[in-house]
Homo-oligomer: A and B are copies of this chain.
Amino acid sequence: MRASRTLNIGLCGLGTVGQGVWKHFGRLRADLESRLGARISLHRAAVRDLGKARAVRIARSKLTTDALAVATDPDIQIVCELMGGVETARRVTLAALTRGKIVVSANKALICAHGAEIFAAARRGGGHFLFEASVAGGIPLIKAVREGLVANRFPRIYGILNGTCNYILTKMEELDAPYASVLAEAKRLGYAEAEEALDVEGWDTAHKASILAWLAHGVWVRPEQMIVEGIERITPADFVNAEALGYGIKLLAIITRDFDTDQICVRVHPTLLPRDSVIARVSGVYNAISVTGDVVGTTLYIGRGAGQDATASAVISDIADAVALLVHGKGAQFMGEETAPADGRARLMPPERIRGRYYVRLTVADLPGVLARVATIMARNRMSIASVIQHPCDREGTASLVLTTHESDERSMRSALRALARLSSVRGEPLLLRIGDLGD
């Protein structure tokens, strides 16, 4: 080993991911040191509770409850922010970057909320911010988009970015089981958090979509500016209907750009995808992302999007990049860090102007004339119906009415939905899903 210099790593957060990093790093250290030409030490870790039992063995002297002390420790060159949450994580990240340290982060909520501030702090302080683990877990997607596909502009990036939702949707379809019972089982198995809202309502996916949109287009899009819809209202019947129409249902992030108008669309919603497409067939906790570049065509990336080991794999690859940067210089992975990673010219298309095809499921009174009233409302909103499936509901006297439409836009669809919801013969809230003619 040629190592001389010692680089110290500080961990802020020693939960599932932090312990995964600690565990695997211990095993890999000698190998990484020999490849990178430096000694690397896990120097200190900040935890919430010093006394808590952990699966990894760490000398008590290395632990502190003060994450900021780790971030500002002059002996530490690389800070891994693995706490989650936004406010403390932001303070820790900015404190480290201001001091010229390298921060490795898996915190998509933080990046989405404060990415611009974080990258500005890195620029000013001479630090660097690495975030491979924040999107698509163990799949090296950030590196692929940023470096491997540097010759490309990206007319379309879309995919499954939340393993919890994909697990729930997969099980609902496989077992013909309702959302609530599958969610409960997912919690029991540890595939869903006790507080599931961030995942199932689509916000976690939106955070990741925001990061990908920034990488690809140099623009920060906030979840509030996107269409963000979750999976909570999908029923087993929707999978049956989708199948009859030739589709599967996936929660997708979709980021598209029209390079003629320089408008981008960023949205997160359950999507009907052709059943024989690769992404429609990705099941369980896996993530799958389709990246279309204007030179390379479409490339597809599949792997575990979360979990201790997959996330640790990504964090450790960032640590290796950080060590290489400190030992050998910046290299390709940091190019464009001082400017935006892409041109930044793109403007966000207002969500109501996004065009697409739709799937609408209504529960209606099983009476003559209902379909006529529904069809009239659709026509008034210039929505052209492509297909109709009607069948009796479990609830007596009601029927399930499923419409699919030809291409229209969000404004028309929403206006139609509001009118449909006001019909006396429509029971409960209509369910809207979107049809993704995305190909692979």
Contact = CB atoms under 8 A, between A and B. Distances in A.
Interface of A: 24, 28, 31-32, 34-37, 132, 137-140, 143-144, 147-152, 276, 278, 281-282, 293, 295-304, 309-310, 312-314, 316-317, 320-321, 324-325, 328-336, 339, 341, 343, 440
Nearest to A144: B140
Contact of A296 (B138, B151, B329): B138
B296 A150 contact: no
Given A35-B336, A299-B303, 12 more contacts: A32-B150, A35-B339, A36-B336, A138-B293, A138-B295, A138-B297, A138-B299, A140-B149, A147-B333, A296-B303, A324-B335, A333-B333
Given A329-B330, A329-B331, A144 B143 contact: yes
11 contacts: A31-B343, A138-B299, A150-B317, A151-B316, A151-B317, A152-B313, A295-B312, A295-B316, A296-B310, A320-B335, A331-B331
A317 B36 contact: no
A332 B320 contact: yes
Nearest to A35: B336
A332 B335 contact: no
A12 to B, nearest CB: 19
Given A35-B336, A329-B329, A336-B35, A278 B302 contact: yes
Nearest to A291: B303
A334 B232 CA distance: 46
A312 B295 CA distance: 8
Contact of A331 (B149, B302, B328): B328
A329 B332 CA distance: 9
B331 A150 contact: no
A38 to B, nearest CB: 10
Contacts of A310: 295-297
Contacts of A325: 329, 331-332
A35 B138 contact: no
A335 B35 CA distance: 6
A313 B295 CA distance: 6
A37 B36 CA distance: 25
A276 B281 CA distance: 9
Contacts of A147: 140, 143, 317, 320-321, 333
Nearest to A320: B150
A337 B303 CA distance: 27
A320 B37 CA distance: 24
A296 B324 contact: no
A321 B332 contact: yes
A267 B86 CA distance: 49
Contacts of A32: 150
Contacts of A137: 296
Most buried by B among A35, A139, A301, A329: A35
A181 to B, nearest CB: 26
Contacts of A152: 313
Nearest to A137: B296
A427 to B, nearest CB: 39
A91 B360 CA distance: 65
A229 to B, nearest CB: 27
Most buried by B among A143, A314, A343: A143
A138 B332 CA distance: 18
Nearest to A34: B339
B35 A317 contact: no
Contacts of A329: 325, 328-331
A341 B297 CA distance: 29
Nearest to A145: B140
Most buried by B among A295, A298, A316: A295
Given A297-B303, A328-B335, A28 B151 contact: yes
Nearest to A290: B302
